[in-house]
Amino acid sequence: MKEELKLIADFDMNMIEDFFSPLDRQGPGSEEVTKLALSFVGNLSPESKIADIGCGAGGQTLTLAANTRGKITAIDLLPKMIARVNDRMKQHGFSDRVSGITGSMAELPFKENELDLIWAEGSIYNIGYERGLNEWKKFLKPGGIIAVSEASWFTPTRPEEIDRFWTFHYSEIDLISTKIKQMEQAGYTPAAHFVLPENCWTENFFRPAQEHAESFLQKYKYSDDAKTFVTGQLNESNLYQRYKSYYGYVFYIGIKN
């Protein structure tokens, strides 16, 4: 069967930035969820070093900055995201502790054993969950913490439509039990995991994206590519409504052995 879906990576980079960077977050999440995940992280001091990888426009960076005392490096591939992160940090008075930098999660600018905490909300899929856990581990001190949120199956079998959608977009999606085992195999002690509540998708991600769609379409003069892009976002939201009992985002928190 011919695959009719377009991968997000098939769209123009400017289009991706223009659609997502004005949003407060670029994936499912919430302040409460970031704080809950943070509650499994031991005491961080003002000397602690934190990396927020695939930070987007800095939704979770704000919560990390407000609820820790460490120094945060927030990294994203897209310059417009980083411009927003740095603006938001300035607005909230966190610029002295938080720096947003443009860069790739595949070539992180850290030294071995430098970091106390690695944070990656809704972003590790870009490098792949297993590869990210394995490659990033060297930057953590022994006993350092990794906290990532990742799309995961809730059930061993699923309706064909949603199975095909996810396998096409992110073939590493898997059961929670598999994700925990992979974390263990990568050299971490799994410390906690929890499922993100529905409002993280509906109120905090899909709704703001839909509200922003019209001004995005206007900017792109209703081009076919822009319309296809917006339709893809709507499709994802519809699929979530229909199949949310089969999958979701799960936060996984591990301690480097």
Copy the structure tokens of residue 183. 């974390």
| DSSP assigned state of 168 | H
For 150, the enclosing helix (H) or strand (E) is strand 140-153
Q: Least distance (Å) from ligand SAM to the CB of residue 97?
A: 18
Cross-strand partners of 75 = 53, 101
Q: Considering beta carbons, is residue 135 or 184 the nearer one to ligand SAM? A: 135
Degrees (nearest 5) of the Cα angle 124, 98, 187?
Answer: 35
Cα distance between residue 81 and residue 26, in whole Å: 10
Task: State which residue has the least CB distance to ligand SAM.
Answer: 56
Contacting residues toward ligand SAM, per CB under 6 A: 25-27, 29, 54-56, 59-60, 75-78, 81, 104-106, 121-123, 126
Q: Least distance (Å) from ligand SAM to the CB of residue 122?
A: 4
Q: Considering beta carbons, is residue 10 or 181 the nearer one to ligand SAM? A: 10
Q: Considering beta carbons, is residue 102 or 178 the nearer one to ligand SAM? A: 102
Residue 140 has φ and ψ, to the nearest 5°, of -85, 145
Q: Least distance (Å) from ligand SAM to the CB of residue 217?
A: 21
Q: How many residues can be counted in the chain? A: 257
Q: Considering beta carbons, is residue 66 or 106 the nearer one to ligand SAM? A: 106
Q: Least distance (Å) from ligand SAM to the CB of residue 132?
A: 10
